[in-house]
Amino acid sequence: MYEKTGLKQNRNVTLDYLRVFAMFLILFDHLGLMRNPQWFLGSFVSKIFAKPLYIIEDFGKLAVCLFFLLTGYFFVPSLNRAKSRISFVLKRFTVLYIPTLVMTALFFVFQRILGSIFGSATFFFQFSPRQWLESGTLFGFFNGGCTFNGALWYLIPTMLFIALATFIYNTSVRGGAIMQNTILFLLILILFFIGKKVSFKPISVLCSYAWYLPQIMVGTTFYFVRTKTISKIAGIIMTFISYLIIILGLRLFRLDYYIPTPYMPSFLYALLIFVVALKIDLKPNKVITFLASISFCVYLNHVLFGALVASIFEQLPNKIHYSYIFIFSTLTSLAVGTVLHYLIERPIRKLLRRL
């Protein structure tokens, strides 16, 4: 969901707060109003903030935009520490992909055990082993197969950005990033047109996610401006070009996000929040640091473990107020995210740092 660097230099603790804020926005959307549009508390918040401000999907897309900006911002310092560009891509893919596979496998076992104990099948029992494989490995997104963990789509543009930007950015030359960014933008434009014309579905699907990349690139541009690699004027120009390419992507691939449910207000709000966060220097907080560290694993599992717990409570004969169900499902997502972080994600990161 974002690239963590462990880098102390130029670190802004406020971005940890921003990460946690985005994580809870995702949980509010997916475990809250998406599951129960009639939930009074969620509906009230949505009517007060989301609807008047034209924030779509009850803050879900706003949170995704924030995560994209964070990914781009931390990309350059991560790349600068890499021994080689090929190893950097492989390591980043490993950190993103292995926890995804393990989480899906664990959930498959968990829900099967749960069903055998209580003698009742859950929503996830309907899927065949092939569908589990398609969803957990992301193949379902490319072949039109099963994608019951829809939140995993985020990994596709993230990994596409890493693969492209790693071999395009010249971070060792001050100011040279402007030309590198321009080249990357041109490549994205080419991907847009290829994706529109190529009939081979996996390629067309991959290219259809390319319009998200300019959002990540804005985060990278902000890093270059903050470290004075490029001027503020150059940063404004690059951000504006990114804006135009996002609009082009919406027109080509997601006209529904252009009209009638506009995507861009959510991105612009995220951009404004990100700019403010870079100007604020909040003090470190152990709880925030911890929640920020597990946020990726929480994102991976909440649509499965969190939603499963919510569905169990929803089926109880004695109805429980949905506010409690939301709390229980959120705590479950946080707990599973903690386990995945300490048993899977963190050991992988430590191992890769030694290689």
145 part of a folded domain = yes
Q: What is the pLDDT along the chain (355 residues), one digit of tens a residue?
A: 544 433 344 457 999 999 999 999 999 999 999 999 999 999 999 999 999 999 999 999 999 999 999 999 999 889 988 889 999 999 999 999 999 999 999 999 988 887 777 666 677 888 888 999 999 999 999 988 899 898 999 999 999 999 988 888 766 655 666 767 777 777 888 888 888 778 888 888 888 899 999 999 999 999 989 988 888 998 898 898 899 899 988 988 899 999 889 999 999 999 999 999 999 989 999 999 999 999 999 999 999 999 999 988 888 888 899 999 999 999 999 999 999 999 999 999 999 988 7
Number of domains in the chain: 1
The position carrying tokens 């007060």 is 48
Q: How far is the first Cα of the chain from the last one, in angstroms, to the nearest whole number? A: 23
260 part of a folded domain = yes
Q: What is the residue type of 245? A: I
The whole-model pTM stands at: 0.92
3 part of a folded domain = no
Q: Report the sign of the C-alpha dihedral through residues 76, 78, 79, 81, in that order.
A: positive
7 part of a folded domain = no
140 part of a folded domain = yes
327 part of a folded domain = yes
Residue 279, H or E segment: helix 264-279
48 part of a folded domain = yes
Distance between alpha carbon 53 and the CA centroid of its chain, in Å? 22
Give me the domain span that covers residue 179. Answer: 14-354
Asked whether 199 and 206 are in contact (CB, 8 A), the reply is no
Cα–Cα distance measured from residue 346 to residue 194, given in angstroms and rounded to the nearest whole number: 38
180 part of a folded domain = yes
